[in-house]
Amino acid sequence: MPYIKVYIHFVFTTKNRFPFLNNLETRLAVWDHIRQNCKKKGIFIDRVSGHKDHCHCLISLGIDQTIQKVMQLIKGESSFWINKNNLIKERFEWQDEYFAVSVSESIVEKVRNYISNQEIHHAKKSFKDEYDEFLNKYGFEKFSG
């Protein structure tokens, strides 16, 4: 049996970064559902949190899991669940794009804390500022169009 521990920090936004998740109770319900859904699907989710217009997940990929498949399972099922349960008034969607970066074992605890403290973090910094920092820090290019 192979032993694998490959941590990936995922960040994905609501469609057009609309603040669909502007209610703390709704956010907590969504994060809890994502956690439960991941467990059912054999996805090891270490942390999940976010704010009104985005979500962060720290996941350790399994032997046969790909970044694309994990994102498809999390985003697709959670948006279906949000709409089915009428958690928000509008039709909910996640944006197609997402970030995924590997996390070294040496900084896993730092990333866990960062994800767990999203409510505090976004009281001081907008997601747009965080997004721009993320692009710069990891050398992603901004696409316009």
DSSP of 15-69, one letter per residue?
Answer: GGG--TT-SHHHHHHHHHHHHHHHHHTT-EEEEEEEETTEEEEEEEE-TT--HHH
What percent of the chain lies above the pLDDT cut of 90? 77
- On the question of pLDDT at 24 being above 70, the answer is yes
* Overall number of domains in the chain: 1
Task: Tell whether 43 is covered by a domain.
Answer: yes
Please state, rounded to an integer, the average pLDDT across all residues of the chain.
92
pLDDT at 128 (0 to 100): 79
Task: Tell whether 144 is covered by a domain.
Answer: no
Task: Tell whether 70 is covered by a domain.
Answer: yes
Task: Tell whether 143 is covered by a domain.
Answer: no
Closest CA to 6 of 85, 96, 103: 103
Label the pairing between strands 44-51 and 6-14: unpaired
pLDDT at 143 (0 to 100): 56
State the CATH number of the domain containing residue 132: 3.30.70.1290
User: Got the DSSP string for 61-104?
Assistant: E-TT--HHHHHHHHHHHHHHHHHHTT-SSSPP-EEEEEEEEEE-
Task: Tell whether 40 is covered by a domain.
Answer: yes
Higher-pLDDT residue of 50 and 145 is: 50
Q: Which residues have C-beta within 8 Å of that of residue 25, sequence separation ≥ 6?
A: none
- On the question of pLDDT at 40 being above 90, the answer is yes
pLDDT at 134 (0 to 100): 78
Task: Tell whether 145 is covered by a domain.
Answer: no
Mean pLDDT of 9-30: 96
Task: Tell whether 1 is covered by a domain.
Answer: no
pLDDT at 25 (0 to 100): 96
Query: What is the domain range of residue 86?
Result: 6-138
Task: Tell whether 124 is covered by a domain.
Answer: yes
Burial label for 115, CB within 10 Å (0-12, 13-18, 19+), is: buried
